[in-house]
């Protein structure tokens, strides 16, 4: 039994469980005091060498980043949040490669615990609340399109009205002058002494 353990737990490249990491002794700062961005997360994934093992890992960076932002405990994202983001990017890659493991996580109701995970079982309609949410999102998108269309038409009509006002401005001024002239004539006739009062 001990010989079997020695074979399994040798530190070399032949076993998938233990891969030696180079000990370079270089320490670098991973996040500044104001937090980190998606770009910094992607750079960190590349610097850690994870893009060689998981070429698609940077595709998950944005979704994971925004989930980390929602769940952060402090005002700014800290180094521990960066570690969480790196961990969840790796989890997303692993779960996408192993659908059986992804189904297990779903059955354990743990999909929401993996940041950035898009679970086709949850989104696929097994959950009626999720279905309602999807319908509401679709209706909201349709309402937004209708609102945008109405706003566009309103802006177009406003431009047309402004153009018509510019074209008709001289006519309107002339009509106002004519109206005021007629009013002044009527006022003079009313104020003039009548012939019946004179006699």
Say how far apart CA 50 and CA 73 lie, in whole Å.
Answer: 26
Would you say residue 160 lies in a domain? Answer: yes
Same domain, yes or no: 34 and 90? yes
Would you say residue 198 lies in a domain? Answer: no
Would you say residue 15 lies in a domain? Answer: no
Say how far apart CA 61 and CA 116 lie, in whole Å.
Answer: 8
Last residue of a domain, one of 71, 96, 126: 126
The pLDDT of residue 24: 61
Start-to-end CA distance of the chain, whole Å, equals 143
Would you say residue 133 lies in a domain? Answer: yes
Would you say residue 112 lies in a domain? Answer: yes
Last residue of a domain, one of 84, 104, 126: 126
Same domain, yes or no: 113 and 136? no
Report the b/e string of 145-154 with b at 16+ CB within 10 A. eeeeeeeeee
Same domain, yes or no: 139 and 87? no
- Dig out the tokens for 69 from the structure: 């932002």
Same domain, yes or no: 139 and 89? no
The pLDDT of residue 155: 93
- Tally of domains within the chain: 2
Element (H, E) at 38: helix 38-47
Same domain, yes or no: 112 and 133? no
The pLDDT of residue 132: 76
Beta bridge partners of 32: 35
Domain span at 160: 129-190
What one-character-per-residue DSSP string does 6-50 give? HHHT-SSTTSSS-------------SBTTB--HHHHHHHHHHTTH
Say how far apart CA 68 and CA 112 lie, in whole Å.
Answer: 12
Q: What string of pLDDT tens digits covers the 199 residues of the chain?
A: 556 656 555 555 555 555 555 566 665 665 556 778 889 889 889 988 899 989 999 999 999 999 998 888 778 888 888 899 999 999 999 999 988 999 899 888 888 899 988 888 876 545 566 667 778 888 888 999 999 999 999 999 999 999 988 888 888 777 776 666 665 655 566 666 655 555 4
Question: Measuring CA to CA, how many Å separate 107 from each of 4, 112, 121, 172?
Answer: 35, 12, 9, 74
Same domain, yes or no: 85 and 168? no
Last residue of a domain, one of 126, 146, 180: 126
Size (the chain), residues: 199
Question: Measuring CA to CA, how many Å separate 158 from each of 141, 161, 165, 166, 194?
Answer: 26, 5, 10, 12, 51
- Dig out the tokens for 123 from the structure: 């989104």
Same domain, yes or no: 39 and 116? yes
Same domain, yes or no: 158 and 121? no
The pLDDT of residue 133: 77
Would you say residue 18 lies in a domain? Answer: no
Would you say residue 175 lies in a domain? Answer: yes
Same domain, yes or no: 164 and 122? no
Say how far apart CA 42 and CA 40 lie, in whole Å.
Answer: 5
Same domain, yes or no: 114 and 40? yes
Would you say residue 121 lies in a domain? Answer: yes
Same domain, yes or no: 60 and 142? no
Same domain, yes or no: 35 and 119? yes
């Amino acid at each position: 039994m001990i010989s079997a353990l020695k074979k399994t737990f040798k530190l070399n490249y032949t076993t998938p469980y233990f891969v030696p990491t180079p000990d370079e002794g270089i320490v670098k700062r991973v996040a500044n005091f104001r937090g980190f961005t998606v770009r910094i997360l992607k750079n960190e994934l590349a610097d850690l060498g994870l893009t060689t093992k998981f070429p698609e890992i940077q595709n998950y960076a944005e979704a994971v980043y925004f989930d980390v932002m929602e769940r952060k405990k402090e005002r700014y994202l800290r180094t521990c949040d960066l570690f969480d983001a790196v961990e969840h990017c790796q989890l997303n890659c692993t779960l996408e490669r192993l659908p059986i493991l992804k189904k297990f996580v779903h059955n354990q109701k743990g999909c929401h615990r993996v940041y950035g995970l898009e679970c086709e079982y949850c989104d696929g309609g097994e959950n009626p609340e999720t279905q309602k949410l999807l319908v509401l999102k679709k209706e909201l998108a349709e309402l937004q399109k209708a609102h945008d269309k109405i706003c566009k038409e309103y802006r177009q009509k406003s431009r047309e009205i402004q153009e018509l006002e510019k074209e008709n401005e001289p006519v309107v001024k002339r009509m106002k002058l004519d109206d005021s002239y007629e009013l002044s004539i009527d006022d003079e006739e009313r104020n003039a002494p009548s012939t019946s009062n004179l006699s």
